[in-house]
Amino acid sequence: METATRYIGSSIKRREDPRLLTGRATYVDDLAPPQTLAVIFVRSPHAHARLKGINAEAARAVPGVVAVLTGADVEASMRPVPIIWRLPDMKAPTRRAITIDKARFVGDIVAAVVAESRAIAEDAAELVEVDYEVLPAVTNQEAAMQPGAPLLHDDVPGNTARRGRDVFRQSEGSLPSAQRPEPRPQFGYTIVRSMMRRSSAR
């Protein structure tokens, strides 16, 4: 216990700084195991757009490109992205790592270019031609829930994953008699994020 408490509130010399500041640290991006390939994703510039077609022939013809994959290419072999946190009666949309039918946000992945190097993959990704049919979009949750709002997921009517009232057990004392504000809608945001950072160092 004494060892643990002496570090709390103390100025501790950082041991990792010298190698980070002098460029001697090894980052994930510096690792290049044999036969490693690079992948660059082609992403939608539109918040809401139907994919009418993807022409990747020019990208596939670039020397060093191993594959150009669309959602249709991996539909049979790749399961939808799982929903890891559910509430009762929640409607969970079918989400895929590479979208098939339409883009649902700016940056939605529409294709993946796999190549022998990052530079080759980046150049080839520029050659992927995507035919978009731009659809109406909304920028906040309240507008998305209005009647007639653009539908994002066909399997989630009204753009609403769940409607309900959560009741929590009241504690004894002053809480039952406390002033209660007017009820208002609550909107949920992303609560779980799993990121792969290329800047990790050792």
Give pLDDT, residue 201. 46
- How far, in Å, CA of 144 to CA of 162, rounded? 14
DSSP sequence for 18-47:
HHHHTT---BGGG---TT--EEEEEE-SSS
Which of 88-102, 119-133, 156-170 ranks highest by mean pLDDT? 119-133
As a whole number, mean pLDDT of residues 74-85 equals 84
Task: Write down all domains in the chain, each with its CATH number in brackets.
Answer: 35-82+91-157 (3.90.1170.50)
Type of residue at 162: R
Percent of the residues in the chain that have a pLDDT greater than 70, as a whole number: 78
| CB-based contact 114:67 (threshold 8 Å) | yes
Q: What is the pLDDT of residues 18-63, one digit of tens each?
A: 888 898 888 888 888 888 999 999 999 999 999 999 999 999 999 9
Q: What is the pLDDT of residues 127-158, one digit of tens each?
A: 999 999 999 999 888 898 899 999 998 888 88
Please, which residues bridge with residue 130 across strands? 54
| CB-based contact 25:202 (threshold 8 Å) | yes
Q: What is the mean pLDDT of the chain?
A: 83
Give pLDDT, residue 41. 97
The more confident residue out of 189 and 180 is 180
Q: How many other CB atoms sit within 10 Å of the CB of residue 122?
A: 13
